[in-house]
Structure 1
């Protein structure tokens, strides 16, 4: 009598999921903290998305170069990562655990190349461009951040029986929140992007003439995205509401701190949210005492980051 050998795929799936979890815990305390508020299944999907995004980002943002790859070889590695990702989504397997976990999430939650291709196109822009005009900036932010918000949205809603969910309001909110996260990070990393990587993301912004008026304009643009996103958080499934609310609160806090940091300090200092403040915001969200606020007109002068 023949006996079927036990499947080894669940072990590989679990190992790949664990690898992605390590990536988010090591690279981002903010997203790691917010993801803990999700249910187990949703948390795994969000970590899987984040891990692949982070690995691709490392190909173009320093580690690959430090390992000895020139731009052309980095491009080849990025192309191979994209090919492996699409193949894994189609077949359900990759020898790269991070890609395997991401593909599992894509297959379960219902997205594919319509979101991954814009993402990888933006990553390639980091190898090709050092400055952006408005058109290329918008395209970059969409591919590098807004589509990531859409991937996360699929993970939030698929268990409600809507794997192809396309509600315009939630889609707009997911894109807005992704854009806000990306633009805040650009503001935090002005010095590193310009001096270390030789990049200037914001169209027409020159760090040599960076002033309060420029900073205030960029902060207001981020705030507009945060305000758009705030109107949709309450529409998310219950298990995602607190996690996304905390992520929103953390980046709202960052934008507020950037707003009160003098322009001359912002180009030399990376603004952070201290861990005790993160813990306080998390406690407020869990207690239902952290309303999603509009800070569009909130500015204080003379403050410190």
Structure 2
């Protein structure tokens, strides 16, 4: 398979996913947009090996194959469409192999970890499966300052915490509890309560606490963004679109009175596209005004 054919595979996979991230990719130049499609496809395929394993497959063995494919990609000998495309994009944007390996390590945690005792424990998982993706995206966007790194890490944590809160019911039905057990104990809400999907006063208190934690990471990321040079802020417009979409999902969770055991809380496609367009236009206007002021 040629790199162009492999890229087409990644692009098709991403478009079919309906992911929140897809709507932010529209606003990138073609070369960077294609790189993001490839990164998304890699994340999706690796995640699916554990969360949606093919019938009769062994998730641990599937991850072992992905590690082999990743090594092959960086040695110039990949065989899977995603890693063929990743090999080309990694060279073009200088994406470190270690970041991709760390993502696989995070996904692998789902094979052995169904509970997290403390937030420190959960932090490592969120960093691996979400913040690491942000660090890869920085390479594609071209923003590599230390503050941009801090921004990506905090934003990734905010995204993953939002996902955990939104998918609380689905995960519980699969026997997984991501919320730290120390937090459940703090609000006297038991594992049995969560697995039985009991919406008690203790549950609402717990959810208020967890939503506030996610908000703090969104706020930290926003504060760091404001401290970056204008040129870096412009490069991170796509990340800000993602922040706009995911922070609104968090708002929906709160405004629904934490109805996370029913239908999945989401934004409609027009809503997501509208958020993306508004943030992109605001970024362009800000950049133009700054250019005029410095002229």
Give the structure-2-normalised TM-score: 0.83
Q: Please report how far the alpha carbon of residue 251 of structure 1 lies from its aligned counterpart in structure 2 after TM superposition.
A: 0.7
Question: How far apart are residue 232 of structure 1 and its match?
Answer: 4.2
- Alignment partners' CA distance in 2, 1:241 and 1:84: 30
SS in 1 for 2:236: helix
* Map of 2:268 onto structure 1: 274
> Match for residue 240 of structure 2?
245
1:154 matched to 2:131: no
Using the alignment, how far apart are the partners of 2:26 and 2:281 within structure 1?
Answer: 15
Aligned to 2:124: 139
In the TM superposition, 1:35-46 aligns within 5 A as 35-46=25-36
Tell me how far apart the structure 2 counterparts of residues 75 and 93 of structure 1 sit (CA, whole Å). Answer: 22
Contact 2:237 2:283 in 1 (8 A): no
TM normalised by structure 1 equals 0.80
Q: State how far apart, in whole Å, the 2-side matches of 1:58 and 1:226 are.
A: 27
State the SS of the aligned residue for 2:60: helix
Q: Tell me if 1:202 matches 2:202.
A: no
Cα offset for 1:257?
Answer: 0.7
Change (3 A) 1:170 1:13: same
Asked if structure 2 preserves the Cα contact closer than 8 Å seen for 1:131 and 1:199, the reply is yes
- Seen in structure 2, the aligned counterparts of structure 1 residues 179 and 288 have a Cα distance that, compared at 3 Å, is same
Q: How does 1:74-223 map to 2 (within 5 A)?
A: 74-89=59-74, 91-134=75-118, 135-157=120-142, 165=144, 167-195=145-173, 197-204=174-181, 205=184, 206=191, 207=194, 208=196, 211-223=203-215
Asked whether the 8 Å contact 2:20–2:245 carries over to 1, the reply is yes
* Unmatched 5+ stretches in structure 2: 185-190, 286-295
Contact map agreement 2:130 2:156 (CA 8 A) in 1: yes
- Equivalence for 1:22: 12
2:2: which partner in 1? Answer: 12
Structure 1, unaligned stretches of length 5 or more?
1-10, 159-164, 292-305
CA root-mean-square deviation: 2.2
Deviation at 1:260, TM superposition (A): 1.4
Distance 1:266 1:60, change over 3 A: same
1:280 positional shift: 2.4
Asked if structure 2 preserves the Cα contact closer than 8 Å seen for 1:191 and 1:269, the reply is: no
Give the C-alpha shift of residue 286 in structure 1: 3.2
Q: Which residue of 2 aligns with 1:229?
A: 221
Following superposition, the deviation at residue 239 of structure 1 comes to 6.2
